[in-house]
């Protein structure tokens, strides 16, 4: 730690700033580090074959002895999903509310880590000490129950870290954002506010979650066949509303999707979800009931590859089949970046004769879990921070939120936009970004491998997906090194072999000619190091570039006889 900043508060984002997801914030004071959230992101077309993306935590690994604990604001994947992957290299107690820890324990159980962790359940408004940090959880509403903002107090002052939040005065579970505690902290004085920026560009204030129930009551009676509602499995209050609406129209309920079953089990165990007797039906028994008497609550609302709803739409689900006259309701938003997969899913369902209800044709079918601009203004008005840092969002979100804070009275020099890897130095009278950055970035999880897929591997995968693969088999004389038979070619993703035999014959001719002429004819800088393998590879690359305008990956295999 910089000695000049030893008694300042360090604010170090390792994920979630300049991007959506992968949230991880580190606070440092007096030589100790507090880790807030540890989330993941999901792959995109630029990361083929990758299962999950987690933050690069080399900085934490290098300073593991300084970590006093991990504090989780809520149970969404983008805030807790990476913790089972990084915890073994760091270790430390994990703090959270009941629902958050319930979901985390399931993940740690899958990683065979459950009994190694010290779990500490925290109640709202209850202060606890971690090193120099006094921490208090403040209840906020979000699209998952048991969400919290954090009041983090050090000798310098109090920092409010909002986590994800919205201000719903009449939430389904009756647990509204604790405006009283927020206002009280504002009265006492808050040094800095770090606030969720996801919906900064959405005007207005939060629409109450309760307003969705009348929408369900209007739509559900119009369903003639099987009724399927897809939503996020973590949105327990939405699931509760769906179940109540199903009961009102006389339908039994089936839960579909692994995470749906797991999250509902945790929520029921904690008393956050109630299901009337004789309402729930096991998925395996769905065929025993008339279609018009069943409602399925499913995962897959974002059209995720291999998700339950995608398999249903493709006709590949073992138990659930949709047909003409059925209805599918997507009670979720079109998350930016997922629009294409969602529309593909909708088109597949419509092709089967299914009526699909979604936020584009019935906007009231979903309420966001993130605070729009009006709620963010209220948070700033209640907290009245001296310094402000926008968090959770892409750069356009962060800059817009900073501008709002300045409009609300924060001095322009006290409102700072940070990026992942920045080291913010907060003192009583100043906030600056240090010139030295900390290591940050993305680590790819692919199958059982964590971090073994890097940029070079991704580049090769993208190359393969764009231009295909050519394998050339050379049979050479062991003594003379001369070719003893015509090269063999195997292509994948380049051309259809059965329909392009003439082209492939020309490619073999190009290889034979190159082998006969040697490396000099192909402009090798180091002719000494260019053997038959390298010559054949370069010859094929040139051939396919010239004939097809493509650059396939060429793999030469040499057999000596």
Of 300, 355, 307, nearest in space to 331 by CA = 300
pLDDT of residue 4: 44
Residue 537 has pLDDT above 90, yes or no: no
Q: Report, as an integer, the average pLDDT of 9-35.
A: 96
Helix (H) or strand (E) holding 25: strand 24-29
Domains, in order of start, for the chain:
3-204+368-446 (3.60.15.10), 209-365 (3.40.50.10710), 455-560 (3.10.20.580)
Residues 149, 73 contacting (CB under 8 angstroms): yes
pLDDT digits (tens, 9 = 90+) for 48-83: 566 788 999 999 999 999 999 999 999 999 999 999
CA 1 – CA 478 distance, rounded (Å): 61
Confidence of residue 7 (pLDDT cuts 50, 70, 90): confident
Residue 140 has pLDDT above 80, yes or no: yes
pLDDT digits (tens, 9 = 90+) for 339-373: 889 999 999 999 999 999 999 999 999 999 999 99
Of 504, 501, 513, 503, nearest in space to 538 by CA = 513
pLDDT digits (tens, 9 = 90+) for 146-202: 999 999 999 999 999 999 999 999 999 889 999 999 999 999 999 999 999 999 999
Residue 483 has pLDDT above 80, yes or no: no
Confidence of residue 526 (pLDDT cuts 50, 70, 90): low
pLDDT digits (tens, 9 = 90+) for 363-400: 999 999 999 999 999 999 999 999 999 999 999 999 99
pLDDT digits (tens, 9 = 90+) for 413-463: 999 999 999 999 999 999 999 999 999 988 887 765 575 555 666 566 666
Name the token pair of 70. 């991990």
Of 142, 20, 14, 9, nearest in space to 73 by CA = 142
Q: Report, as an integer, the average pLDDT of 252-273.
A: 95
Mean pLDDT over the full length of the chain = 91
Confidence of residue 519 (pLDDT cuts 50, 70, 90): confident
Residues 356, 350 contacting (CB under 8 angstroms): yes
- How many percent of the chain have pLDDT more than 70? 92
Residues 387, 352 contacting (CB under 8 angstroms): no
Residue 492 has pLDDT above 90, yes or no: no
Residues 261, 297 contacting (CB under 8 angstroms): no
Residue 1 has pLDDT above 50, yes or no: no
pLDDT of residue 82: 96
Strands 24-29 and 9-15, how do they pair? antiparallel
Q: Which position has the higher pLDDT, 522 or 4?
A: 522
pLDDT digits (tens, 9 = 90+) for 459-478: 666 666 777 888 888 888 77
Give the sign of the dihedral formed by CA 100, CA 103, CA 108, CA 109.
positive
Of 140, 106, 132, nearest in space to 6 by CA = 132
pLDDT of residue 5: 46
Residue 329 has pLDDT above 90, yes or no: yes
Q: Report, as an integer, the average pLDDT of 279-296.
A: 96
193 φ, ψ (degrees, to nearest 5)? -120, 130
Helices (H) and strands (E) in the chain, counts: 15, 25
Identity of the highest mean pLDDT range in 277-281, 301-305, 448-452, 462-466: 277-281
Residue 480 has pLDDT above 90, yes or no: no
Residues 323, 282 contacting (CB under 8 angstroms): no
For every residue of 265-287, DSSP letters joined together read: HHHHHTTS----TT-B--GGGGG
pLDDT digits (tens, 9 = 90+) for 28-50: 999 999 999 999 988 766 665 66
> Whole-prediction pTM value?
0.83
For every residue of 292-346, DSSP letters joined together read: GGEEEEES-TT--TT-HHHHHHTT--SS----TT-EEEE-S---TT-HHHHHHHH
In three-state form (DSSP H/G/I as H, E/B as E, the rest C), the secondary structure along 410-453 is CCHHHECCCCCCCCEEECCCCEEECCCCCCCCEEEEECCEEEEE
pLDDT of residue 544: 86
Residues 236, 272 contacting (CB under 8 angstroms): yes
Of 153, 108, 150, nearest in space to 132 by CA = 153
99-108, 230-239, 252-261, 542-551: lowest mean pLDDT where? 542-551
Confidence of residue 551 (pLDDT cuts 50, 70, 90): confident
pLDDT of residue 461: 63
Inter-CA distances, 217 with 220, 237, 274, 306, 327, Å: 6, 16, 19, 31, 14
């Amino acid at each position: 730690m910089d000695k000049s900043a030893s008694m300042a508060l360090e604010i170090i984002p390792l994920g979630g700033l300049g991007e959506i997801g992968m949230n991880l914030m580190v606070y440092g004071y007096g030589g100790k580090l507090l880790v807030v959230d540890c989330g993941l992101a999901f792959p995109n077309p630029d990361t083929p074959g990758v299962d999950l993306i987690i933050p690069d935590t080399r900085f934490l690994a290098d300073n593991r002895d300084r970590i006093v604990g991990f504090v989780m604001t809520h149970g969404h994947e983008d805030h807790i999903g990476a913790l089972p992957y990084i915890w073994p290299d760091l270790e430390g107690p994990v703090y959270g509310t009941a629902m958050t820890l319930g979901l985390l324990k399931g993940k740690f159980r899958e990683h065979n880590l459950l009994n190694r962790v010290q779990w500490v359940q925290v109640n709202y408004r209850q202060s606890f000490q971690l090193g120099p940090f006094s921490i208090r959880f403040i209840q906020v509403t979000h699209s998952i129950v048991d969400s919290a903002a954090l009041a983090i107090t050090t000798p310098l002052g109090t920092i409010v870290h909002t986590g994800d939040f919205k201000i719903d005065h009449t939430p389904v579970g009756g647990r509204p954002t604790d405006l009283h505690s927020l206002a009280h902290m504002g009265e006492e004085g808050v040094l800095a506010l770090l606030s969720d920026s996801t919906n900064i560009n959405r005007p207005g204030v939060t629409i109450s979650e309760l307003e969705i129930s009348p929408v369900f009551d209007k739509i559900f009676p119009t369903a003639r066949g099987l009724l399927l509602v897809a939503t996020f499995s973590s949105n327990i209050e939405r699931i509760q509303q769906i179940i109540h609406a199903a009961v009102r129209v006389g339908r039994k309920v089936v839960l579909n999707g692994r995470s749906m079953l797991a999250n509902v089990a945790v929520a029921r165990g904690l008393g956050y979800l109630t299901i009337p007797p004789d309402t729930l039906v096991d998925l395996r028994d769905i065929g025993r009931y008339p279609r018009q008497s069943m409602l399925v609550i499913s995962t897959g609302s974002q059209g995720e590859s291999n998700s339950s709803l995608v398999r249903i739409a493709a006709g590949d689900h073992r138990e659930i089949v949709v047909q003409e006259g059925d209805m599918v309701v997507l009670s979720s938003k079109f998350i930016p970046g997922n629009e294409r997969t969602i529309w593909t899913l909708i088109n597949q369902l419509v092709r089967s004769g299914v009526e699909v209800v979604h936020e584009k044709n019935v906007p009231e079918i979903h309420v966001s879990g993130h605070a729009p601009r009006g709620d963010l203004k209220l948070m700033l008005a209640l907290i009245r921070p001296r310094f402000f840092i926008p968090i959770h969002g892409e750069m356009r979100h962060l800059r817009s939120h900073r501008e709002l804070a300045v409009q609300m009275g924060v001095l322009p020099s006290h409102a700072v936009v940070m990026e992942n890897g920045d080291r913010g130095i907060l003192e009583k009278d100043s906030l600056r970004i240090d010139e030295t950055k900390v290591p940050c970035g993305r680590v790819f999880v692919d199958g059982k491998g964590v971090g073994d897929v890097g940029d070079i591997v991704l580049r090769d995968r993208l190359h393969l997906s764009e231009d295909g693969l050519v394998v050339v088999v050379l049979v050479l004389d062991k003594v003379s090194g001369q070719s003893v038979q015509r090269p063999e070619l195997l292509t994948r993703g380049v051309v259809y072999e059965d329909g392009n035999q003439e082209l492939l014959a020309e490619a073999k001719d190009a290889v034979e000619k190159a082998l006969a002429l040697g490396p000099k004819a192909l402009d090798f800088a180091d002719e000494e190091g260019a053997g038959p393998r390298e010559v054949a590879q370069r010859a094929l690359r040139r051939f396919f570039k010239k004939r097809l305008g493509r650059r396939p990956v060429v793999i030469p295999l040499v057999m000596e006889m």
